[in-house]
Each structure stands twice: as C-alpha cells, then as structure tokens.
Amino acid sequence: MASESTCQHSSEEDSLACEMKNFAIEKRRGRGAVTSGLTHECGVFGAIGCGEWPTTLEISQIICWGLVALQHRGQESAGIVTSEGKCSKYFNIVKGMGLISNIFNDQAIRKLKGSIGIGHTRYSTSAASEEVNCQPFVVHTQHGALAVAHNGELVNCDSLRKMVLGRGVGLSTHSDSELITQALCLNPPEGESNGPDWPARIKHLMQLAPLSYSLVIMLKNKIYAVRDPYGNRPLCLGKILAQNEPLDGDCDDSREAEGWVVSSESCGFLSIGAQYVREVFPGEIIEMTRHGIRTIDIVERPEDKIQAFCIFEYVYFARADSIFEGQMVYAVRMQCGRQLAIEHPVEADIVSSVPESGTAAAHGFSRQSGISFSEVLCKNRYVGRSFIQPSNRLRQLSIAKKFGALSGSVKGKRVLLIDDSIVRGNTIGPIIKLLRNAGATEVHIRVASPPLLYPCYMGINIPTTEELIANKLDADELAVAVGANSLKYLSVEGLIKAVRSDIKSKNAHKVGHCTACLTGEYPGGEPHKDLDW
C-alpha cells in the first residue's frame, strides 16, 4: 500500500497548510485507503421492549437487523451490547471486525440476552480500524455499567482529551468515542446529591463539545438518544407495533408500542416491524425506558449558529429509502437531477446513471428534460472497495472491473451520464472509456452535487485537499482529462434549493445544512482556529 509522508513546513505561511495536511494524513493512518468516493461514517442503533421484562421482543435480533440496514454506513467492525435489566454490573457484549453477517451468528444472538440493547457499525474516522476501537464502548463506573455508540467526530477532541486526562482518567485508545464515554463518567466537581444525574452529565458534555455526534447511551434499564445541537449527524425514532398492525401512515399516539427503536436512518424500520415516528431534534436528549420515551432536554447551539445537517447525507451517504427532515432521500436526489437539468441542459439521446447513488438524480433529469432514461451500466456487486493499487493502470482497471456496459443501449447513442458526486475523479474516466468502447458517439457528464473542495472534520473521511480532483481541474479541464464531451456540476445554490424544496418547516431558524466540504464554511467555525468554543 502506498504510504504518505508527513508535511514539513519551511515558512510561516506554509505552517497552516502543513498542519491541515498532517491532520488529514494522521486521521487516515491505520485505515484502509480507498481509490474512489467518500468513505462512509457509522451507524448507531438502539432498541428497548415496553411493559414487563423480560420482553417477548427478540431485542438482539432486532438490533442485528437494524444494523444490517445501516451496513452501508460502515463496514469495518460492529458490535451489540444488551442488558437484562436486573444487574448494573453485567452487560452482554459481542463485537468484532468485519460485516454484521459475519459477526452475529446464531450463537452470538443467543448470547445477547436482554430487553434493551444498543449496536454500532463502524467506519473509523478517529483511531485505527482495530478491535480495541470497535463500538459500543463499555465501561464500569461507580454507578454501574455504561455503553456508548457514536456516529460523528468530535471537532474539539484535543481540548476535551486534555480535560479528561487532566482529571486523572487514563484512556486506552485514541478514539473520540471512548473519550465521550469517559467524559460521561466524570463526577461533576460540584458533586451530585441523589446518585448520578446522567442527563446533566450528557448536557454538560454537549455544551463542552457541540459537534459532531449522534449517540446512543445505555445504562442497565434505559437508553439516552442524543443528537448534537447542530443536528449534524442523523438520528430518528421508530415505534415497534404489534404484529399485523399496519406500519404506513402518520404515527398515531393511540397505537400501543411494544417497543421503541432509535437509529441513524429509518431505512430498516419496516423490516423490523417498526413505524417511523420522527427525527431526534438537534440538541435533544431522549430517555427511552420500558414505560416509553420522553424528551429530557434540548441543548441550545452556541449563539448565532444555525442548524447544520450534513447535506451529503442526501447526496450520497444515506440509503435512498431513508427519511430526513420529513422527506425521502430518493425524492431529494430526484429533485437534484431536475435542478441539474434546469442548470445544465444538453442534447442527448438517452439519460443514464452511474449506479447506485447516481440513479435517482438521473430519473429526475430525465423527467425534467424529457430525454428518456435507459440503463447503460451493470455494477458488479461482488467487487469490494478498490484499495490503493501500485500503478495507475491497475487503479483504472480496478474501477473499470466494477462495471460492464450494456452495449445494446449505448451503440450509436449520445449518452448523458449522471453521477451523484466526483471526489478523486477515478471512477468517471474508465466508465466513459467503457461507454465509448461500447459504441457511444458522445458522452456528457452531469454531476448531481457541486465540486468537493474542502476536508470534513465531522465524521466523513474526505480525501486530503490535494487528492480532491476539483482542486486541480475545473469542470472543463476535467471533461478533457476524463474524455467527456462536456462535464458540469450542480451549483451549491441548486443543491440547497433541491434539498429544501419540500421541507415542511420553512422556518429559517429550523432548517440549515452543513455544506463545508463544498464551501469551506464550517458550522462551528474554522476548525484550525479555535476549537474550544
């Protein structure tokens, strides 16, 4: 595997650039580098049975299926922790490297007894992809066991780390998720009169570190579901209904819950018999017990800061059948395609997509432009990630072998091809070559998101600034480099317009999206300046 050398700056001006490059390199150490796309994030999931315990719900199986539905968010490792509700000293734990289906066999599921549990599927952003960093993290405190699963990345990790270490706590990993877990264990300096006040501890942590996380935190008999005050990472609630109850339609309070689930995305709810209820609000702390769910608190964002839900969840990360902000991801992707057709029309015989994530936008483009949609590529679902290859030729081939061309649809045609994003620019070139070899007379590229220009510090492994192709070539230069007849990106305004066109709440204060990787405007301020708020 190719290794990157750290940057040594020679002058004052170079210092900041070097610091940022080294930060990005450091973050990637110990993880499998990839040649294409953005690497995902993590998925968190929690489930609890209502009424008398032990519950009749198969909690560990529900969590396992919930995690399978979140597998696209992380494929490096996974874990489930359950509690039988009686003993605060003992949790059942199964964690391991690899995919959910490899880790959770029948024996593991049987071991995970309990009426309550949380789970995690990981793509590492802080600390290596190793067994010690697998989540949920479990610690044994003075007040019983505590388990934490985290999606996101603490922007001010360093200062929080110093604070926790300064209180005499030893950390066993470099994971920001372990840091969160240990920070929650700290006894407040002013003391607690009536046992541990977990909501107060969580709130204090949220004030110290407002970005970025969705958390599920489990004690022996309750779960706290927590979303950061910016709402940067997604989190939503579902209600498990009795068998045979219809799961569609608006959530109806009168229907009794057999259990509750909380998840990064709603895409798995129907398959586990859960009805989508709502999102966890930015800054909200929800307590889930066998008696039901209730909001404990809503922690405010720092003054003047707006909500900052990751816009790339819509573009690429989330599964198309998930719901965010009252709208289905698939519908937003289609709207992006419509907007793209308005911004960058082109004469072509067919509209098509780079599967998977580009497909909804291609349908939107097709409807807006009247050019018919036709599939031109088959994706080989058994080719995994293309790890760094020693030569450029192998790099290109490793991408090309993911796809095959449907020659019958392409021969003699002017093809308009939509992809959701271009990151390093490795995917699109080999595909254009493939289509030309299959007889396409013209290949025009339309990208359903703006150029990616800046790194992400909030839980997404975006390549270093130098690796992002948009920092080297503008759209016209890239078209020439990849052999396209034309290449255009959706504008930032167009993406925002598409994302917000159907959001029910038009209240400006309540709607806001992080676009930092596109605009360089970071929701919590410039990350390399002051992270301590």
Ligand X SMILES: NC(=O)CC[C@H](N)C(=O)O
Q: What residues line the site for ligand X (CB under 6 A)?
A: 41-42, 122-127, 133, 150-153, 175-177, 459
Nearest residue relative to ligand PRP (C-beta)? 37
| Residue of 175, 339, 427, 515 interacting with ligand PRP (CB under 6 A) | 427
Is 371 one of the binding residues for ligand SF4 (CB under 6 A)? no
What is the C-alpha to C-alpha distance for residues 232 and 384, in angstroms, rounded to an integer?
28
DSSP 64: H
Distance in Å, CB of 317 to ligand X, minimum: 10
What residue 456 binds from ligand PRP, ligand X, ligand SF4, none (CB within 5 to 8 A, per partner kind)?
ligand SF4
Distance in Å, CB of 234 to ligand PRP, minimum: 17
Q: And the tokens for 220?
A: 């022996």
What residue 151 binds from ligand SF4, ligand PRP, Mg ion, none (CB within 5 to 8 A, per partner kind)?
none
Distance in Å, CB of 484 to ligand X, minimum: 32
- C-beta separation of 280 from 225 below 8 A: yes
Distances (CA, A) of 260 to 116, 233, 276, 285, 326: 10, 20, 10, 15, 19
Is 322 one of the binding residues for ligand PRP (CB under 6 A)? no
List residues with catalytic annotation. Answer: 42
**R_g over Cα of the chain:** 23
Is 328 one of the binding residues for ligand SF4 (CB under 6 A)? no
Q: Contact region for ligand SF4 (CB under 6 A) — 53-61, 99-107, 432-440, 454-462?
A: 454-462
Q: Which is nearer to ligand SF4, 41 or 287 (CB)?
A: 41
Q: And the tokens for 213?
A: 């996380």
Q: Which is nearer to Mg ion, 121 or 357 (CB)?
A: 357
Is 470 one of the binding residues for ligand PRP (CB under 6 A)? no
What residue 515 binds from ligand PRP, ligand SF4, ligand X, none (CB within 5 to 8 A, per partner kind)?
ligand SF4
| Residue of 275, 426, 461, 464 interacting with ligand PRP (CB under 6 A) | 426
What residue 311 binds from Mg ion, ligand PRP, ligand SF4, none (CB within 5 to 8 A, per partner kind)?
ligand SF4
Residue type, 108: A
What is the C-alpha to C-alpha distance for residues 76 and 233, in angstroms, rounded to an integer?
19
Residue 407: is it exposed, middle or buried by C-beta count within 10 angstroms (0-12/13-18/19+)? Answer: middle
What residue 458 binds from ligand PRP, Mg ion, ligand SF4, none (CB within 5 to 8 A, per partner kind)?
ligand SF4
Q: Contact region for Mg ion (CB under 5 A) — 79-87, 110-118, 148-156, 357-365?
A: 357-365
Collapsing DSSP to helix, strand or coil, 415 comes out as strand
What is the C-alpha to C-alpha distance for residues 90 and 223, in angstroms, rounded to an integer?
16
Q: 10 Å Cβ neighbour count for 303?
A: 5
Nearest residue relative to ligand X (C-beta)? 42
What is the C-alpha to C-alpha distance for residues 493 and 491, in angstroms, rounded to an integer?
5
Residue type, 114: G
What is the C-alpha to C-alpha distance for residues 64 and 2, in angstroms, rounded to an integer?
35
Distance in Å, CB of 182 to ligand X, minimum: 14
Q: And the tokens for 271?
A: 């398959």
- Using CB under 6 A as the binding rule, the residues of this chain from 221 to 240 that contact ligand SF4 are 232
Is 316 one of the binding residues for ligand PRP (CB under 6 A)? yes
- C-beta separation of 258 from 49 below 8 A: yes
What is the C-alpha to C-alpha distance for residues 220 and 430, in angstroms, rounded to an integer?
53
Which residues have CB under 8 Å from 153's CB, separation 6+? 125, 126, 176, 212, 213, 457, 458, 459
Query: What's the 3-state SS for 369-411?
Result: HCCCECCCEEECCCCCCCECCCCHHHHHHHHHCCEEECHHHHC
Q: Which is nearer to ligand X, 179 or 490 (CB)?
A: 179
What residue 516 binds from ligand SF4, ligand X, Mg ion, none (CB within 5 to 8 A, per partner kind)?
ligand SF4
| Site residues (vs ligand PRP, CB under 6 A) | 36-37, 316, 354, 356-358, 419-427
| Site residues (vs ligand SF4, CB under 6 A) | 232, 310-312, 456, 458, 460, 514-517
